[in-house]
Amino acid sequence: MHDDAAPRMHAVTTENEAVVDLVLEYSRNRLTSRDVPLDKPMSPAELRRLALPAITEDGIGAAKALAVFEHVLAPACITTDHPRYLSFIPSAPSKAAAAFDIVVSASALYGGSWLEGAGAVHAENEVLRWLADEFGLPSGAGGVFVQGGTLGNLSALVAARDHARGLGRSPDRWVVVCSAEAHSSIASAARVMDVDVVAVAPDAGGVLRAEGVRAALDEHGDRVFAVVATAGSTNFGIVDDVRGIAGVTTARGVWLHVDGAYGLAAMLSPRRRGLFAGVEHADSVIVDPHKWLFAPFDACALIYRAPEHARRAHTQHAEYLDTLTETTDWSPSDFAAHLTRRPRGLPTWFSLATYGAGAYRVAIDAAIDLAEQVGAVVEQRPELALVRPPQLSVVVFERVGWSRADYDAWSARLLDRQLAFVTPSSHGGRPNARFAIVNPRTTLEDLTSILDTMR
């Protein structure tokens, strides 16, 4: 070793330890803080003015880089786990899940194959098995954690089409049937796959019924390779008639996929479990732990009734992968449209192991109760009107007489005042507002204080 090599190595080690200490201290403070600001976006011009050019030839050092993040970049991002973040579908990771996400990165784990990550894959599979049991799926069911609902839906539909091809079907154009209120990711998946979407009108309450699915199958026949039922629509939290739809798809031999990215977590609630009858007949399901299962971004649990169908559709073959593909090991990369992956299901595993499933049931029940309570408040106020009664934890309502411009201005005022993040929505061409409630720290007082600003 060169005479000065040891001092240089010591200096590098010391510097790295300082960087780690700095980042972990910031992370600890963020995770344990109970008063995190909501914050709001900045314009590109503001960020260019306030943020240092951080990428330089020699670097600016960890302390300065972290200061730029803490004082400029982070305040320009809306805090998704804030109790008054009520737009889209929020994320409210448990402290255990968020903290363990640091461990996943620090441990340099790879979650694509059993060979490289057997322990991590085992833990992820424990979560998937628990979910499959909750959903009533058979003992052979299994799958993988993917990035989000869009990739989960796409991967499930690719497996469904491959299965239909294996049955000897080869129409001129493939068709997927879903509700007209299905999530936009279904249309996105269809574009990627170059297949057609048949959107069936739901009933007046937003529920896709078996009769509509049956009519679509009668019309399109063997062109239909999958039917998608929604278990908790994003806009309203409405659950389709899964049992009735499953009866139709089973009789016709058509793959049933259940998109439960947001709402399927409510099956953990004994009070709402009956809404999801029929899920046990699904060929594939998704649920996003980063929504209502208290995990950090990004995690979607994709579960197949018969995982071998997915393995045939998704396994990638290459000479350098022979070591993996010539075995029967459970490699998560074989079950979705991906190869490289981090074991993103581990924070959910750690959180469930820490708190127990019962704590999850209590938290989900509390969100459903809160939605019912604020829905009742809306009905009592003459200036407000419920668009639909809440079924899960999404409450959609109108301010009588308001235009879209009024909603936009109101939403901007809420964020400027750091009171809440509530973006306008719409239904049937009419603008409205919606509360998406998943955070256990959100209170009725929070929600009524927001409603008070609409008077």
pLDDT at 52: 83
Judged against a pLDDT cut of 60, whether residue 1 lies above it is answered with no
**pLDDT band of 11, cuts 50, 70, 90:** low
Residues 199 and 307 in one domain: yes
Q: What is the pLDDT of residues 37-74, one digit of tens each?
A: 999 999 999 999 999 899 999 999 999 999 999 999 99
> d(Cα 229, Cα 283) in Å, to the nearest integer?
11
The answer to the question of residue 329 being in a domain is: yes
The answer to the question of residue 84 being in a domain is: no
Assess contact for 334 and 155: CB atoms under 8 A: no
Residues 242 and 337 in one domain: yes
Q: What percent of the chain has pLDDT over 70?
A: 97
Judged against a pLDDT cut of 80, whether residue 6 lies above it is answered with no
The answer to the question of residue 89 being in a domain is: no
Q: Residues of 344-372 as b/e, b for ≥16 C-beta within 10 angstroms?
A: bbbbbbbbbeebeeeebbebbbbbbebbe
Average pLDDT value for residue range 107-133: 98
Q: In the chain, how many domains are there?
A: 3
Average pLDDT value for residue range 289-303: 98
Residues 336 and 383 in one domain: no
- Give the residue from 355, 372, 393 where a domain finishes: 355
The answer to the question of residue 90 being in a domain is: no
Phi/psi of residue 178, each to 5°?
A: -155, 175
Q: What is the pLDDT of residues 227-285, one digit of tens each?
A: 999 999 999 999 999 999 999 999 999 999 999 999 999 999 999 999 999 999 999 99
Residues 276 and 392 in one domain: no
Q: What is the pLDDT of residues 135-165, one digit of tens each?
A: 999 999 999 999 999 999 999 999 999 999 9
> d(Cα 423, Cα 415) in Å, to the nearest integer?
10
Q: What percent of the chain has pLDDT over 90?
A: 96
The answer to the question of residue 404 being in a domain is: yes
The answer to the question of residue 322 being in a domain is: yes
Return the closest-CA partner of residue 84 out of 437, 452, 454.
437
Residues 132 and 234 in one domain: yes
Q: What is the pLDDT of residues 70-116, one digit of tens each?
A: 999 999 999 999 999 999 999 999 999 999 999 999 999 999 999 99
Residues 152 and 300 in one domain: yes
DSSP string, 356-415: -HHHHHHHHHHHHHHHHHHHHHHHH-TTEEEEE--SSSEEEEEETT--HHHHHHHHHHHH
How do beta strands 300-304 and 394-399 pair?
unpaired
- Give the residue from 330, 355, 380 where a domain finishes: 355
Residues 138 and 180 in one domain: yes
The answer to the question of residue 85 being in a domain is: no
- When the pLDDT of each residue in the chain is averaged and rounded to a whole number, the result is 96
DSSP string, 124-189: HHHHHHHHHHHHT--TT-EEEEES-HHHHHHHHHHHHHHHHHHTT---SS-EEEEETTS-HHHHHH
The number of C-alpha atoms within 13 Å of 58 and in the hemisphere containing its C-beta is 0
pLDDT at 106: 97
Residues 6+ apart with CB under 8 A from 58: none
**pLDDT band of 4, cuts 50, 70, 90:** low
Q: What is the CA radius of gyration of the chain?
A: 24
Average pLDDT value for residue range 392-400: 98
CATH number at residue 121: 3.40.640.10
Assess contact for 197 and 224: CB atoms under 8 A: no
Residues 182 and 65 in one domain: no
> d(Cα 353, Cα 266) in Å, to the nearest integer?
19
Judged against a pLDDT cut of 90, whether residue 34 lies above it is answered with no
Average pLDDT value for residue range 312-334: 96
Phi/psi of residue 32, each to 5°?
A: -95, -5
pLDDT at 2: 63
Q: What is the pLDDT of residues 174-217, one digit of tens each?
A: 999 999 999 999 999 999 999 999 999 999 999 999 999 999 99
The number of C-alpha atoms within 13 Å of 110 and in the hemisphere containing its C-beta is 9
Residues 244 and 387 in one domain: no
pLDDT at 407: 98
Average pLDDT value for residue range 10-21: 85
Judged against a pLDDT cut of 90, whether residue 13 lies above it is answered with no
- Give the residue from 78, 108, 126 where a domain finishes: 78
The answer to the question of residue 114 being in a domain is: yes
Residues 227 and 323 in one domain: yes
Residues 110 and 71 in one domain: no
Domain that holds residue 49: 5-78
**pLDDT band of 12, cuts 50, 70, 90:** low
Residues 189 and 294 in one domain: yes
Helix, strand, coil shares of the chain, percent, nearest 5, are 50, 15, 35
Assess contact for 383 and 454: CB atoms under 8 A: yes
Instruction: For residue 244, give the 3-state DSSP assignment.
Output: helix
How do beta strands 394-399 and 430-436 pair?
antiparallel
